[in-house]
Amino acid sequence: MKKIIYTVAFLLAGATAVRAQVELKQTKAELADFILLENGLLVYTLKEAQGQFIYSEQRGRSETSKKELALNTGVLNAVIGGGKGELYVYHKNGRNQEMLAFYTLKDGSFEKTGERKLPKLKNHSRNLGLFLSQDKNTLLVAADLGRSQGYEDLYVSKWENNRWSKPGSLGKAVNTRQAEFAPYMANDTLYFSRKEEAAAYNYSSPLDLAAGRAGAATKLAPFINVAGSYNAYYKKAAERQMWISASREQDYFYTAYLLEKPAPAIEEVKADLVPVAEEVTTTPAVKTRAAAPGLKLFYAFNSIYLNLEEVSALARFLNQQPPGTAFVVKGYSDGYGTAQAKEYVSHHRALQVKHHIEKYFPKKQFVITLEHEVRDQKGKDNRKTELYLMQ
């Protein structure tokens, strides 16, 4: 009897409820804010000995990093927001040479579309933080403008009658004797960071723009605010949350994180709608591991978790395999770190992939064998997990 097979594709159950935490950028230079544009371009600000400058790179491809000449017309430059296809940038060349400029990305290059002067600020601090709303009508300021609660406070200025209003304090509910910095606004919520001795933490607060006041501040979730660490520049856009963390234990590597919903994986299910006339029993052949891996998955430095691109690559690979496929999942660590740390990382990279497969592809009943290896060589090519098919 002829066997008819129909292929049905469906979204994995529960996949849309899962969130993926991704390391967007890791650097030993001080990372002073960043933004991820719609086309996957990561734009970020680094503090350097000669000043503060803006760089860009394609998400997940650090080798594409470059200093954006068009965005660095000052000695101090900073990304302060964006919207409607534009990027908003602060430039400073001297005490009275400060400007807010607007840029669009065209044919791979940033082009200036407009500018505004900064409001008059008598800042008594060496630090200045700015955020410009998408409609360009609200400017949040972190500075010491006198009569502050202590160090830097948060202020708001509004664009009215083609000029900025005098910045007004957002009130004692958010301004304390500690330094408040890195302001950001989404809908009716203010997000900011606060210094607490040697650490910093991210907070949120209800924001009443009409009254120019913010409500009681609440510290954000623990995974965003690692205890005893520097946590700052939190922002939330639609389903995405982003922030920067640095820790003494990591020798002060600054890491930009992204938390978002991954694209739901699609699993193909093959169903027999016509039964087979005869059942044939065969002796299973002994399988051997393929000489070359069917898939290689790569990791950020010191990470045991896959980024979104690698999760998608894994899903595509698994969707191509028939139910019951056997393969070896082998994790690797490169030569950085102590022997104990390298052993842990190599083993847990493979283990995390196994857990991911078992959670999202249970119906395929894959047969998985784990292996791991520590390599002496250093670099991204040795920070990986490989999947070998059993043949």
Same domain, 346 and 305: yes
pLDDT at 38 over 50: yes
| Calpha distance 327→390 (Å, rounded) | 5
H/E segment holding residue 141: strand 138-143
* Rounded mean pLDDT, 65-93: 93
Residue 289 belongs to what domain range? Answer: 285-389
**Is 309 part of a structural domain of the chain?**
yes
* DSSP designation for 289: B
pLDDT tens profile 263-290: 555 455 555 545 545 555 555 566 788 9
Predicted local confidence at residue 279, as pLDDT: 53
The closest of 190, 188, 226, 219 to 202, measured between CA atoms, is 219
* Rounded mean pLDDT, 376-387: 92
Predicted local confidence at residue 213, as pLDDT: 94
pLDDT-derived band at 4, boundaries 50, 70, 90: very low
| CB-CB contact of 249 with 240 (8 Å) | no
* Rounded mean pLDDT, 73-102: 90
Predicted local confidence at residue 12, as pLDDT: 40
Give me the chain's average pLDDT, please.
85
pLDDT-derived band at 304, boundaries 50, 70, 90: confident
Distances (CA, A) of 139 to 171, 277, 381: 16, 74, 44
| Domain end call among 260, 293, 319 | 260
Same domain, 338 and 380: yes
Please, what is the end-to-end C-alpha distance for the chain in angstroms?
Answer: 29
| CB-CB contact of 189 with 217 (8 Å) | no
* Rounded mean pLDDT, 134-139: 95
pLDDT-derived band at 149, boundaries 50, 70, 90: low
**Is 90 part of a structural domain of the chain?**
yes
| Calpha distance 332→293 (Å, rounded) | 13
Q: What percent of the chain has pLDDT over 70?
A: 86
**Is 348 part of a structural domain of the chain?**
yes
Predicted local confidence at residue 285, as pLDDT: 61
Same domain, 203 and 345: no
More confident residue, 184 or 302: 184
Predicted local confidence at residue 18, as pLDDT: 47
pLDDT-derived band at 252, boundaries 50, 70, 90: low
The closest of 171, 130, 175 to 149, measured between CA atoms, is 175
**Is 273 part of a structural domain of the chain?**
no
| Calpha distance 89→99 (Å, rounded) | 8
* Rounded mean pLDDT, 62-71: 92
More confident residue, 14 or 366: 366
Could you tell me the CATH number of the domain that includes residue 194?
2.115.10.20
**Is 277 part of a structural domain of the chain?**
no
pLDDT at 14 over 50: no
* DSSP designation for 152: S
**Is 248 part of a structural domain of the chain?**
yes
